[in-house]
Chains A and B, each alone.
Chain A
Amino acid sequence: MQPYHAPLRDMRFVLYELLGADRQLSALPGWEEVTADLIDPILDEAAKFCREVLFPLNRSGDEEGCRFENGVVRTPKGFKAAYDLFRQGGWTGLMAAGADGGQELPRLLGQMVSEMICSANLAFGIYPGLSQGAYAALAVHGDEALKRAYLPKLASGDWTGTMCLTEPQCGTDLGLIRTRAQPQEDGSARITGTKIFISAGEHDLADNILHLVLARLPDAPKGIKGISLFLVPKFVPGPDGRPGRPNGVACSAIEHKMGINASATCVIHFDDATGYLVGEPNKGMRAMFRMMNEARLAVGIQGLGLAEAAYQGAVAYARERQQGRALGKPSRPDLPADPILVHPDVRRMLLTIRAKTEGARALAAWVALEMDKAARGGDRARREETEDLAALLTPIIKASFTDMGFEAANLGVQVMGGHGYIREHGMEQLVRDARITLLYEGTNGVQALDLIGRKLTAHGGRFLRRFFHPLDAYLAAKAGDPALAEFVQPLAKAFGRLQQASAAIALQGLKNPSDAAAGAADYLRLFGLVAMGFQWARMAETALAALAEGQGGEADFYQAKLATARFFMARLLPECGALLATVAEGGKTLADFPDRAF
């Protein structure tokens, strides 16, 4: 596959033109310096690093995979050196607090850098990605001593983090956790149990690994209300703060899997390992959810990164590959055949990837900017509004973006025909790598249940209003604008369907929750399309304004934006009609089917 080039122009379009993020961010306390002349060089350097260091290791890392030898995990060739460069470059501390040695930059920027990393080399990105989640959980829920001892190490990337939830008998249903914690006199605890599928659980990239482990204290209530969170270092730091004696933590195997082969997925045994409580006893889920929400957004961005990578590979191929003739007039009569880019079906596939990818990028950026604004400014009410919006959109971003990433990779293979199926072209790796993103951090099915079960019902529908109101206001404000009609009208229609579907789900939830659950995935998909559609209308508006201002030199760019917006409205958004029909049907056809007939 051709080398990955970060979509810097599109990122700048979203940042500066669509959102005015430079203006908004630099108006916030502590971020006065975060203007375009700082954002641009950061994105440029990240793009260069991803292209030159991470991308070249993507396929070799996949081919070689991680190796497990005598309790030690070896990452593929080049990963350690790349991680060292990444760490020394300060990228692990991009969002970390200044007091911990971080750069304290906005989430919006961190998210764009993450997208690039995931496009270039998803398996690599998982290692620092988990550290970031661990940092977030510890920063909010850890006590002062823990924070002082561990946060700077996570920020510098000297040590990495994990999240240890899954056990053989316990996947989605965390109430089934068996790992035990025995409190000690010195305030620590002894952790015993087996965790499986632990990403970055063991590796050779860093000097120490900090496991955030869900476990049960003695006499804890049964189920999910009896779970506590512990920090368990692989090496217990000595008085000097350096990795000291080995803790009772051992890796016994790594999984052989479909994709992300360069990311170590480990079986980790805790045997009387010293751990420290994070947050309150039996309130581990609260702290873990902080980490999981971070991680869910991050996994959504993985989907986005993969979709972008698939698009770039597919477009490059479609320009070069010559097969058949355009229906009508040949585009390259000088060649024996036209490039496959001329075929409507190929264009459909490419535009589907592109329209979703750019819509997703804008949506994620909008949410991140709102979160940044709430974190640095505004009053409590404002913060609450943003938290609501983020809570609502987190399962949507996680599930619809990862669905998109997988769909994009699949379409990428389809564009390339049989050559897409061949390893050396790199596209089939994207399919395999993308597949996990629909599963971990809560399967996409579980995201849909979170959306309808928790997010829709919260505070009498308050979360929902945080999205519906701005969209409603936008549609009302633009209803009379003829230049925008071709974008606003289909969006209004799709929004109507989302409102109907929301009402249907709410009603089903009251009458028969399994009816609501039956349509949850379709509802989430419908929601995702409308949320992207909202961004597309705004992007079209931005592009029209730029063209009207006579951004002549870049007319091609803005025209392509408009054309993509039209494609999204005309060819992707209509799916909302079918999704509404499915949601409205409820779950009868599912429930009526006898178990024994399966």
Chain B
Amino acid sequence: MKVLVAVKRVVDYNVKIRVKSDNTGVETANVKMSMNPFDEIGVEEAVRLKEAGKATEIVAVSMGPQACQETIRTALAMGADRGILVLTDAELQPLAVAKILKVLCDKEQPGLVILGKQAIDDDCNQTGQMLAALLDWPQATFASKLELGVSDARVTREIDGGLETITVTLPAVLTTDLRLNEPRYASLPNIMKAKKKPIDTVDPASLGVDVAPRLSTLKVNEPAKRQAGVKVATVADLVAKLKTEAKVI
């Protein structure tokens, strides 16, 4: 079975995010970028499926500027077999990404598509769901455990109240949650091999997808600065303040 994994290039999770001075977005120039951590979990899961003999080929897809190729290489170094770079300088919103993935799924016919449940830059948490709708495939979101059968998959999902286990028929869309696995470090030999693995480059127009944004960003602001705290002398003081000032109890 072929597995398609979506990998997004985002500001590295260690970087302290700064808002652009004109409030149009987040500063990304000369900022360290890496693979979205949830997508790393997706790649890891796909590689484990392949190591277990359940997947035959892993295709990593990334969309954006040329530099996204580095993100694909990271996936290849972890164990993906080949990459597809959808080259565009346009702003990509979840619907556009889902549409592109839909076209790629039509072409590639994977048995399973794995996405992160969200990307740590815009935190949308929409793409996987939209893709499932466009493909009319079942979706298993927020996965923390995957048991892949021949024609279906048992997936444990993280939900508000705890865990939910569902079965979906294949092909299906899966989105990863944090506890699904712990991604490996790419080994040096595999980093070297990754350089030789093929990456196809396409663009949204050649896939027949209109990626024009449907939402417009009005303004991006820093979150309000945390106020300095106060020290309270006694528990009674604390309770009083929680009641009268914070009004939380």
Contacts and interface: CB of A to CB of B under 8 A. Distances in A.
A binds B: yes
Interface of A: 3, 5, 8, 33, 37-38, 40-42, 44-45, 48-49, 51, 53, 85, 88-91, 93-94, 103, 105, 553-554, 557
A387 B241 CA distance: 73
B187 A88 contact: yes
Given A45-B77, A103-B188, 17 more contacts: A37-B70, A37-B195, A38-B191, A40-B70, A41-B73, A41-B191, A41-B194, A42-B188, A44-B34, A45-B185, A89-B186, A89-B188, A90-B187, A93-B188, A94-B188, A554-B30, A557-B30
A85 B29 CA distance: 33
A307 to B, nearest CB: 22
B195 A38 contact: yes
Contact of B185 (A89, A93, A105, A553): A89
Nearest to B69: A37
A49 B77 CA distance: 14
B77 A90 contact: no
B53 interface: no
B192 interface: yes
A5 B74 contact: no
Contact-residue bracket for chain B: 10 to 19
B162 interface: no
Contacts of B179: none
Nearest to B194: A41
B194 to A, nearest CB: 7
The dominant DSSP class at the A interface is helix
A5 B30 contact: no
Interface of B: 14, 29-30, 32, 34, 70, 73-74, 77, 185-192, 194-195
A5 B189 contact: no
Point out which of B34, B70, B74, B192 has the most chain A C-beta atoms below 10 A from its C-beta. B192
A103 B185 CA distance: 17
Contact of B29 (A8, A88, A103, A553): A553
A33 B195 contact: yes
A400 to B, nearest CB: 31
B31 to A, nearest CB: 11
A85 B190 CA distance: 14
A90 B189 contact: yes
A91 B34 CA distance: 21
26 contacts: A37-B70, A38-B191, A40-B70, A41-B70, A41-B74, A41-B77, A41-B186, A41-B194, A42-B188, A45-B77, A45-B185, A45-B191, A49-B185, A51-B14, A53-B185, A85-B185, A88-B187, A89-B185, A89-B188, A90-B187, A90-B188, A94-B188, A103-B188, A103-B189, A553-B29, A557-B30
Which of B32, B185, B189 has the most chain A CB atoms closer than 10 A to its own CB? Answer: B185
Contact of A8 (B32, B185, B188): B32
Contacts of A44: 34
Closest 6 CB pairs of A and B: A90-B188, A89-B187, A90-B187, A90-B189, A553-B29, A41-B191
A91 B189 CA distance: 9
Contacts of B32: 8
